[in-house]
Structure 1
Amino acid sequence: MKIPFLINRAARQFGERPALISGGETVSYAEYERNVARAAKILSDLGLRPHERAALYGKPAAKYVYAFWAAMALKSMVVPLNTRLPLDGLKAQLRQTGCSFLVADHWPENATRNALFFPMNDLVRMDEKRGTIPAQIDERQPATIVFTSGSSGEPSPAVLTYGNHYYNALGSNENIRLNPGDRWLLSLPLYHVAGISILFRAALAGAAVIVPDANNRLAEQILESRPTHISLVAAQLAELLEIQDIRSVMKNMRAILLGGSAISHKLIKRAFEAGWPLFVSYGSTQMASQITTTTPAAGLEELFTSGFVLPYREVRIGENAEILVKGQTLFSGYWEKGKIVPAAVDDGWFRTGDAGFFDVQNRLVVQGRLDRMFISGGENIHPEEIERELLKIEGVRQAVVVAYDDDRFGQRPAAFVKGIDWNEQTVEKIKALLRRSLPAYKIPDRFLPWPDDAPQGMKTPWKWFEKAIKN
């Protein structure tokens, strides 16, 4: 089925309303479409064709956004590359996806042989003729290849259709009100599906996207641009809660969407008591971002869940309490050896690998990863449960619990903790606090300081910590 190509429709529907705010300049929807059309003409003249893969690499910028939509307008697949990867990792992702084009704001000389490099700064030339932007596009058209977070292993290239992104945004906007004149800060990178979803939500509603200055800290960007909407992961929320000057700005926003991974009840409670307009969500790359989200003006009880299933998605609980999903936002499969390989499904249901349940109000409660659970002395242990209790302790900023081999019990929990001063008395105090809410067999036997070289990202790479405990 054909659905609107949002940049075309937004230009007709919202015209001179703000679409992008970047570097002190405001671009209207009419100019937005013209710049996308210019970028599409350049890429087409260079030889980018339907179904080819075009990698994008660079810091947040308006020209990156133009390139993103331009490649989709040409029915090519956009492959956003992670700017935090080392060069070898980037080259591996280019090879894995078979990209024929690389549009980047910078790139080491001779770093790639198989993809045509084009400087992003040259992408939009004001004297360039414009290409044709389609009014509609097939909802089944492959649009992006987004690498999963890799929280449970190596990142996988997930293929998402234009319709996946479109219906994810449509369902989100039915729950989180977004109108022309609103401004959503692009606070998450475009190599994550959560960042991409901001572009689709805004274009669908006629709202503006604030493209941040890469040199500014998040708090500085918020104070400068005064967004009405923002998306945050746990680490960002924790950082902002410590900044006094920003609290009134956050309180006056219309929506603060939380996601990326489990967020501690302590952080949610602090933000709620400060009057911040919170929305807690559960999502995945394979479902194009949000799957469930709490409702507007939700109370603390609801915010301690992941909320209700959004439109265009379906969720049910399978064997072993596994969360299963399907719907119009479910991805096509993974990119392997030059083609899309459909993901394993059971009667259309995709296994997320997450465990959870619906409460009596039909709100989803996510318990953690099934593949993180381990057995200690015959008892099932979910590391996320211990992590939640650790994050309630004053001073603890981050915590990861992993299993280590034990001769007597098979496996026992060990905890990496960030934010406290380490000594024997501190560890004993933490254990005493945990005993108030956890049975003795769930209390970690080992406590370790947070490694300086631990990777950072939207989701905690617990596989890295599993390797660290063995070393």
Structure 2
Amino acid sequence: MTHAAAATHLITPVSRRVMNLATFVSQAAARLPDRPALIVDDTVTTWAQLDHRIQALALVLQDAGLGKGDRILTHASNCREQIEIMLACFRIGAVWVPTNFRITPEEAEYLAQSAGVCAFTCHVDFPDHARLATTLPGLKLVASLGGPGTPQAPGIDVLIDARIARGGVSHSAQRVDYDDPCWFFFTSGTTGKPKAAVLTHGQMAFVINNHLCDLMPGTTWRDASLVVAPLSHGAGIHYLTQVARGAATIFSTQPRFSPEAAWEAIARHRISNFFTVPTILKLMVEHESVDRHDHSSLRYIIYAGAPMYRADQQTALRKLGPVLVQYFGLGEVTGNITVLPPDEHHEDDGAMPHLGTCGHARTGIEISIQDADGKPLPPGEQGEICVCGPAVFAGYYNNPEANRKAFRNGWFRTGDLGRLDAQGYLTITGRESDMYISGGSNIYPREIEEKILTCGLIKEVCVLGVPDPKWGEIGVMVGVLRDDAEWNPDAFQAWLDGNVARYKHPRQIFIWPELPKSGYGKITKKIIYQELLKRGSLTTQA
């Protein structure tokens, strides 16, 4: 027996008990009872009040027969009650299953069935979604979010007040182990049906620590965070990092995002950090209100969800200074793959040694670039980005085939293509599924999009491959002009001739007033392709 085997033999397996994530709130309430935890539409909830409400809501859920392991769907736009139901689910050991509030009732029904949920909470603004309780057997609507609710499902405030009136609202957080699920994080479903990535209490504790370590070092209770993205996904993960430090979180429940309102809130509340996606950050820094409000309190603007084009990076840096933090990561790795911190963002290309990269590996994460057979590739060579580490999810719920495809030799396969340089900085070259083959040549849209944005005419662009009977596939470009630009097709073609290899040229080019985006503010090729079909714009079909 080897020394390693002998050492392993002496270890007695034990349960890996971990802290229930809802305990973060109780810890903040003990240290900072009268400090603001949430400021929603100017209504302040302190840490003591939030902890009291969550404990009462946990008892309400238990009174409804819900407990450890039960999956509870939530359909709502950003609101205080959405946060409360998330943390109350954690507290009783249940699994929070949030949806994108923009999906249809039919899509919500699919998520409910695929996740095996037994109960759900729904905002009163979505009555058609609330009817799931009458159409899906065994599913009950336990609470309404917003207002007094309905006779079938009273509002959370009503339920909490009634439980408090009964007395004895002290609730002990459910014991959880490292691998106990806490959140089903649905993939965006840009290809095929959405899948439920299982996030666990132990994994998420690592993710929260990692975010604080790599993205927002030095964050304390004196900080304040603004929410400008759906709490059902990346912004919800970011919110938990603020809870862990006792920092206040501020947001509006207004249905439409307003750059003016965001900058006003940043100035008024002395916001120090927020999470967003590149399209929203671009909208904010290009709005004239950025120059009318004080944003000197900002220390970290964390952007992720999609790569940010270099021209947009430069605009943001020019307006805001060195506050940008980029990370690359999928829901399955809860954002924890790479980081490019503020001191590695520069407006001047010459001062940015890792220009075009999305940074280096996050703390505790290893990146491997692999070929189709799983063989690691040397620096500089393109392959599939694969990762391992404590941030990797537990797998897809009830989907063994998806799990088989997603993991190989212990590595999680992201489906993204990229290359590492000799210093370990990662450049994303595209999604494997985005690549198209035209006349036998592999073409990666990301490379063409980056180049087109340097021409000075285009502020948003999407290039995708579509079927063609002669070439197999051809490239189609859809772009949005800069506000002061005039479209001249001949001049743009001449620019392409001088800057992009001929075989990579888009064969069809469309200029639209704006690009449709996903519910998370992303430009996705699937949505653009569907819109092209809807408009009857494609002239070739295989």
Q: Please give the TM-score of this superposition, normalised by the length of structure 2.
A: 0.80
- For the pair 1:393 / 2:455, whether they are aligned, the reply is yes
Counting matched residue pairs gives 469
Q: Is the 8 A contact 1:197 1:289 kept in 2?
A: no
- For the pair 1:199 / 2:244, whether they are aligned, the reply is no
Higher RCO (C-alpha 8 Å, min separation 6): 1
Instruction: Read off the aligned partner of 2:250 and give its amino acid letter.
Output: I
- For the pair 1:228 / 2:269, whether they are aligned, the reply is no
RMSD: 2.7
Q: Is the 8 A contact 2:396 2:402 kept in 1?
A: yes
Deviates more, 1:337-346 or 1:176-185: 337-346
Deviation by residue 1:152-174 (Cα, 9 ceiling, x = unmatched): 44322211112232211211111
Q: Is the 8 A contact 1:395 1:419 kept in 2?
A: yes
User: Corresponding residue for 1:269?
Assistant: 314
User: Corresponding residue for 1:186?
Assistant: 227
Q: Is the 8 A contact 1:398 1:419 kept in 2?
A: yes
In the aligned structure 2, how far is the partner of 1:309 from the partner of 1:392? Answer: 28
**Which is richer in strand?**
1
Deviates more, 1:408-417 or 1:48-57: 408-417
User: Corresponding residue for 1:173?
Assistant: 212
Instruction: Read off the aligned partner of 1:288 and give its amino acid letter.
Output: T
In the aligned structure 1, how far is the partner of 2:462 from the partner of 2:54? Answer: 43
Deviation by residue 1:341-389 (Cα, 9 ceiling, x = unmatched): 6763122101001011222432211111012112222322101111122
User: Corresponding residue for 1:351?
Assistant: 413
In the aligned structure 2, how far is the partner of 1:74 from the partner of 1:270? Answer: 46
- For the pair 1:282 / 2:328, whether they are aligned, the reply is yes
How far 1:424 moved relative to its partner?
A: 11
Q: Is the 8 A contact 2:324 2:341 kept in 1?
A: no
Deviation by residue 1:255-290 (Cα, 9 ceiling, x = unmatched): 111111121110001111223311111111001123
Distance 1:439 1:289, change over 3 A: same
Deviates more, 1:69-78 or 1:105-114: 105-114
Deviation by residue 1:194-233 (Cα, 9 ceiling, x = unmatched): 1121122111222111132324634203313442111121
Q: Is the 8 A contact 2:97 2:183 kept in 1?
A: yes
- For the pair 1:81 / 2:95, whether they are aligned, the reply is no
- Counterparts in 2 of 1:6-405, with a 5 A limit? 6-106=24-124, 107-108=127-128, 110-113=131-134, 114=136, 115-117=139-141, 118-121=143-146, 122-124=155-157, 125-129=160-164, 130-134=169-173, 137-175=176-214, 176-177=216-217, 178-192=219-233, 194-215=234-255, 217-219=257-259, 220-224=261-265, 225-247=269-291, 249-276=294-321, 277-300=323-346, 301=352, 302=354, 304-319=356-371, 321-336=383-398, 344-405=406-467
In the aligned structure 2, how far is the partner of 1:69 from the partner of 1:430? Answer: 52
Q: Is the 8 A contact 1:152 1:462 kept in 2?
A: no
In the aligned structure 1, how far is the partner of 2:175 from the partner of 2:497? Answer: 59
Deviates more, 1:292-301 or 1:375-384: 292-301
Q: Is the 8 A contact 2:100 2:519 kept in 1?
A: no
- For the pair 1:464 / 2:527, whether they are aligned, the reply is yes
Unaligned runs of 5+ in 2: 1-15, 147-154, 347-351, 372-381
In the aligned structure 1, how far is the partner of 2:287 from the partner of 2:513? Answer: 25
Distance 1:437 1:290, change over 3 A: farther
Distance 1:116 1:425, change over 3 A: closer
Q: Is the 8 A contact 1:268 1:303 kept in 2?
A: no
Q: Is the 8 A contact 1:139 1:161 kept in 2?
A: yes
User: Corresponding residue for 2:376?
Assistant: none
Among 9, 18, 24, the alignment partner of 1:3 is: 18
In the aligned structure 2, how far is the partner of 1:420 from the partner of 1:202? Answer: 36
Q: Please give the TM-score of this superposition, normalised by the length of structure 1.
A: 0.91
In the aligned structure 1, how far is the partner of 2:516 from the partner of 2:302? Answer: 26
Distance 1:345 1:142, change over 3 A: same
In the aligned structure 2, how far is the partner of 1:40 from the partner of 1:363? Answer: 44
Instruction: Read off the aligned partner of 1:448 and give its amino acid letter.
Output: F
Distance 1:135 1:75, change over 3 A: closer
Instruction: Read off the aligned partner of 1:89 and give its amino acid letter.
Output: E
In the aligned structure 1, how far is the partner of 2:228 from the partner of 2:336? Answer: 16
Deviates more, 1:403-412 or 1:40-49: 403-412
Secondary structure in 2 matching 1:290: coil
Deviation by residue 1:166-198 (Cα, 9 ceiling, x = unmatched): 211211111222211211112110222x11211
